[in-house]
Amino acid sequence: MESMENLKRRAYDLRRDTLDIIMAGGGGHIGGDMSVMDTLIELYFNQMNISPENREDPDRDYFILSKGHAVEAYYAVLCARGFLDLEDVRARFSRFGSPYIGHPNNKLPGMEMNSGSLGHGLPVAVGLALGNRMSGRDSRTYVVMGDGELAEGSVWEGFMSGHMYGLDTLCAVIDRNRLQISGSTEDVMAQEKLADRVRSFGWHVVNVEDGNDLDALHAAFAEARETKGCPTCLIANTVKGKGSPVMENKAEWHHHVPTVEEYEHIVRDLDAGKEALLNV
Ligand SMILES: Cc1ncc(C[n+]2csc(CCOP(=O)(O)OP(=O)(O)O)c2C)c(N)n1
Ligand SMILES: [Mg+2]
């Protein structure tokens, strides 16, 4: 486990790596990368029993990035944890014939599931958690979804069956940034009373008021781990594009390659944020 101070610095460094991967590849879902970054950091550095050494061990924990379009953030975190090599990802991301494609690819070390077609991660996670229990393992299964993704009906089938089987080793995170591809989630497919709705499906729900706050995420995942008899869903209230006002809360930054000026501005903002942290 790494100190919280280090992890908070990493949140800036890994956003920078994500940005560089996108610039190098000439494409990427930057908004959703930045909103989910802190969840990925907390999971990979503090919560999950997964490492390059035990990635083939059936007793490890399991992770699915169901909002697979946020793969650039996933690459950055897997590089920092030693599963992948950052220079190689930057050199080959999105190139013809490269394994580093625009969505998770389970041929790569550390990636469990090909995702990108939204709505499938939770049902698969339910199956993994059920299978692990039947095999007598106490592995935990984590799945991260987008809030726009909740428009897919299969997500709600996953909520139903996760409860039905009492899968308390299963933890879902909803990256609640209130935007999807073309605008506000509330305009496209409203998700009001989300916590009540998930709770009504029999899940324990933790509302993480600031889902970009690593301390808050740490406490929420601890609560999930302690919850017995049913699965837990964290609703992480995040900011799409978190890290710089240039990209924050802007639907048009769902998929966007920054201009050189925008890139420099974002880097300045990330550096300033990290600097402020060091001076606390
Ligand atoms: C089944 C399916 N329909 C449509 C898309 C196209 N698509 C890609 S990202 C996206 C928006 C997702 O929004 P959200 O889940 O809120 O993701 P985030 O805001 O975290 O980027 C859509 C509709 C898709 N990938 N899969
Ligand atoms: Mg969203």
Q: Which residue, judged by its Cα, is nearest atom 10 of ligand 1?
A: 181
Q: Is the Cβ atom of 149 under 6 angstroms away from ligand 1?
A: yes
Contacts of 143 (CB under 8 A, 6+ apart): 63, 64, 66, 121, 122, 124, 125, 170, 171, 172, 173
Please give the Cα distance from 237 to 210 (Å, whole number).
Answer: 5
For ligand 1, pick from 180, 194, 235, 242 the residue to mutate: most ligand atoms within 8 Å of CB.
180
Q: Are 82 and 51 in contact (CB under 8 A)?
A: yes
Give me ligand 2 centre to Cα 253, in Å.
Answer: 12
Which ligand lies nearest the alpha carbon of 153? 1
Per-residue pLDDT tens over the stretch 189-217: 999 899 999 999 999 999 999 999 999 99
The residue assigned the tokens 């550096």 is 271
Handedness of CA 75, 81, 85, 91 (dihedral sign): positive
- Position 278 scores a pLDDT of 81
Listed residue (280, 228, 212) closest to 39, CA to CA:
212
Which ligand lies nearest the alpha carbon of 150? 1
Q: Is the Cβ atom of 67 under 6 angstroms away from ligand 1?
A: yes
- The encoded tokens of residue 247 equal 């990209």
Q: Residue ranges of the alpha helices (H) in the chain? A: 4-25, 30-42, 71-80, 86-92, 121-134, 153-164, 185-188, 194-200, 214-226, 260-278
Q: What residues does each domain of the chain span?
A: 4-278
- Position 2 scores a pLDDT of 84
Please give the Cα distance from 127 to 62 (Å, whole number).
Answer: 11
Which ligand lies nearest the alpha carbon of 32? 1
Contacts of 257 (CB under 8 A, 6+ apart): 22, 23, 26, 27, 28, 30
Which ligand lies nearest the alpha carbon of 103? 1
Q: What angle do CA 199, 104, 30 make, to 5 degrees?
A: 80
Listed residue (103, 111, 116, 198) closest to 158, CA to CA:
198
Which ligand lies nearest the alpha carbon of 254? 1
pTM of the full structure: 0.98
- The encoded tokens of residue 126 equal 């339910």
- The encoded tokens of residue 127 equal 């199956």
Q: Is the Cβ atom of 72 under 6 angstroms away from ligand 1?
A: no
- Position 279 scores a pLDDT of 81
Counting from 1 in the atom list of ligand 1, the atom nearest the Cα of 35 is: 20
Q: Is the Cβ atom of 183 under 6 angstroms away from ligand 1?
A: no
Please give the Cα distance from 75 to 107 (Å, whole number).
Answer: 13
Q: Is the Cβ atom of 180 under 6 angstroms away from ligand 1?
A: yes
How many Cα atoms occupy the beta-carbon half-sphere of 151 within 13 Å? 16
Counting from 1 in the atom list of ligand 1, the atom nearest the Cα of 31 is: 21
Counting from 1 in the atom list of ligand 1, the atom nearest the Cα of 177 is: 19
Query: 4-278: what fold?
Result: Rossmann fold (3.40.50)
Low-confidence ranges of the chain (pLDDT < 70): none
The CA-atom distances, in angstroms, between 193 and each of 37, 110, 199 are 25, 34, 10
Counting from 1 in the atom list of ligand 1, the atom nearest the Cα of 146 is: 15
- Position 118 scores a pLDDT of 98
Give me ligand 1 centre to Cα 228, in Å.
Answer: 31
For ligand 1, pick from 34, 65, 67 the residue to mutate: most ligand atoms within 8 Å of CB.
67
Q: Which residue, judged by its Cα, is nearest atom 22 of ligand 1?
A: 181
Give me ligand 1 centre to Cα 77, in Å.
Answer: 21
